[in-house]
Structure 1
């Protein structure tokens, strides 16, 4: 019988310390990587053997339901395209739906996502503050006679943390890192079974396993404080020294990003840019980081290096600021 690490799902082995699943002990429950991560906070980046399509294909061949998890700051075209490519029965789960204070109710957010991303399946909005709502996944399974379900999502979306909250245990390895789950993990919960899956990876990620400090800053652990500005001509906003947004004109913009991210302003830049036309009440989505709500139509100049991470959409917050 193949033994797997209960923290990351990797096959346990005692041969190669540089390969996933290594442990010097034959009776270990955790691989050395997960043991050190759980007990000492030591993070060893690990490459996942399964790519996005491998995971999607496996789920699509199954009759099991898929709960696709994303948080409100990581809703973008790529994550939603991945969700739509799942042909198995599926539900969209929005974690930390209330991490943006007093902006929009769960019901309005669900309606907005249905319209913006053409979601026709059920959507469950989970609370960041009221952990009791994590049980809504189990309740959904029971009400719909679902005995076994996958929990899928992009790396670092909080799947393992959610499972630990649901089970009341801390068996699954969690960290502000990428790729903590390396293979499928079956988690029995009474008569039900959840299967944690390896996280999907962005085609062009803003961060990876080599810049863990940015990973930690991007993922908010507390309620975010939206940063609102009445902008002036030729004003430049710089996020973490890598993303530049120039000249919103006379406008109002609100940054919905982690409180830990560095956001600076200045009035001059020599950075090479490209133009992005914005309509009234539009979100500029920063893939993997958050979004900027822009109130009035304008043409904003963005540094060319940021282009792979930028897209726009009608505001998912609706007209609540108007």
Structure 2
């Protein structure tokens, strides 16, 4: 068995019955979990109560029932197994969820899409000592892991699941190797999480659902940041269990069942933040799991999503596959010398003078290059029809948050929360210590990260089989390969350094801001190499 149930011996007996009563007492929206009401259309949870009409009974139906009543029980069962049943349980949904699911009609307001922080979720929604399953997104790892969780539970009391792993690895069997090893190393060495408490899955592709079901305890509360895939994973577990219970089902019936299931049998899923509004209990086999609303670390998240259309939001958070777009063989483009990398209007990366970088795009953003900031400001104000696809939003630069990127050596990843990452690789000789600037729309968070590729696949060492250094042009043919293992002694990622107006007082240069923020001198005399490349990184 993967789980030691003795960790929660008293808990499961003491409150499972009480919770079942609590969460089933009032009718709730099947999709978002909110308590339903039909008194005030303008208030959250409103739904339209449909009165069930008495069906018209046909003469043929009366004859059918007459003969059916004379059949033996076994014959009735056999007959029912060969016919489609029209009976279905009533699924109640609030107006908000019906409008989203059926018409993609929504208005992002805080009363309809509440988003809380982790502390609020843990102190107001989840019973003390209840089993916790923490989900985090592979797209923006490790941004989805909030260390604050360890204020509420000890590391061995939490089960961690990396979702959407199909964006990192192509096949389910590949997870057994380097990816799982890296995630286990990271969580175990950094936070002391037992390796048996760590899982990797894809709710979309139903990867490892059997192991997950058996590995996490009954009465678990499933938590995670917004859009990390909680409801999708629960639906995957539920669907897998139902299909196993109906293994003799024909292909056509199986297909119909899956379609019907996706249309309402599990918790609702949506690309919108704050979609789940209250706890949703889900019975899967002989276990009950609780789908918990997502949390965030920024108060501007809703405003970030409000700046885009629903279609754009759906596009942005889908992400791209690292194994297609993030390897050393993947397509890249070059940017240099004060050019601007346009993150489709969600942000802008200012390239330093005398610098050249290769860019690999592992996001679903349509990246483009602009001449300079002046050109960007002009396009934001007046976007030509031919360039509309380059701007999901037209937020002016002065309304954006400004950051500087700490110095780095070698390829790095610029990770965008819930979106993915952009691999940035310096090329050519470095002629300046000028820093990269980034403008981001409020609510969009980002970090700098070591290249995750080096932890998930073997990379060139730059040495031949006799450990002699090679020229770069010979690496592909002669270099040995090595897999990098996580080392807790060095930072895996770094915060970007936010620049405020008061930081510009005095010298005002980015280098001076860096010195003020970090207390470390950085100027043209500083040489960044393999030995000190993390000197300016702060997790």
Q: How high is the TM-score relative to the length of structure 2? A: 0.52
Considering only CA atoms, is the larger Rg found in Structure 1 or Structure 2? Answer: 2
1:312 aligned partner:
448
Secondary structure of 1:265's counterpart equals strand
Aligned residue among 117, 138, 148 for 2:213? 138
Partner of 2:381: none
For residue 94 of structure 1, give the secondary structure of its aligned residue in structure 2: strand
What is the aligned partner in structure 2 of residue 286 from structure 1? 416
- 1:239–1:14 distance in 2 versus 1, CA, 3 Å: same
Aligned to 2:371: 267
Partner in structure 2 of residue 243 of structure 1: 347
Q: How many residues align?
A: 316
Judging changes above 3 Å, is the alpha-carbon distance between structure 1 residues 85 and 214 closer, same or farther for their aligned structure 2 residues? farther
The Cα shift of 1:304 comes to 6.5
Aligned ranges 1:161-200 → 2 under 5 Å: 161-168=232-239, 169-170=261-262, 171-200=266-295
**Match for residue 20 of structure 2?**
none
Q: Which runs of 5+ in 2 are unaligned?
A: 1-24, 52-90, 240-260, 326-330, 378-396, 461-539
Distance in 1 separating the partners of 2:334 and 2:181: 26
After TM superposition, list the pairs within 5 Å mapping 1:116-135 onto structure 2: 118=191, 120-121=193-194, 122-127=197-202, 130-135=205-210
2:295 is aligned with 1:220: no
Q: Which residue in the other structure is 2:304 paired with?
A: 207
Name the structure where helix makes up a greater proportion of residues.
2
Aligned-pair distance for 1:38? 3.5
- 1:234 is matched with which residue: 338, 347, 364? 338
CA contact (8 A) 1:207 1:214 kept: no
User: Cα RMSD between the aligned structures?
Assistant: 3.3
Residues 147-158 of structure 1: matches in 2 within 5 Å?
A: 147-158=218-229
2:106 counterpart of 1:38:
no
Can you list the C-alpha shifts for 1:138-197, whole angstroms capped at 9, x where unaligned? 1212xxxx2210111112222112111211133311122122211001101111111001
Residue equivalent to 1:301: 437
Matched, 1:54 2:78: no
Q: 1:264 to 1:86 in 2, by over 3 A?
A: farther
Structure 1 residues 277 and 93, CA gap change in structure 2 (3 angstroms):
same
Distance 2:436 2:459 in 1: 20
Deviation sequence 1:290-314 (CA, Å, 0-9, x none): 2223334973222275797232233
- Say which structure, 1 or 2, has more relative contact order (CA 8 Å, 6+ apart): 1
Write the distance in 2 (CA, Å) between the matches of 1:82 and 1:202.
10
Pairwise CA distance, 1:198: 0.9
Deviates more, 1:237-246 or 1:183-192: 237-246
Residue of structure 2 in register with 1:277 after alignment? 406
**1:207 touches 1:215 (CA, 8 Å); kept in 2?**
no
- For the 8 Å contact 1:218–1:289, the answer to whether it is kept is yes
* Pair 113,128 (structure 1): closer, same or farther in 2 beyond 3 Å: farther
Higher mean displacement: 180-189 or 266-275: 266-275
Tell me whether 297-306 or 83-92 shows the greater mean CA deviation: 297-306
Aligned equivalent of 2:187, options 96, 104, 114: 114
After alignment, is 246-255 or 305-314 more displaced? Answer: 305-314
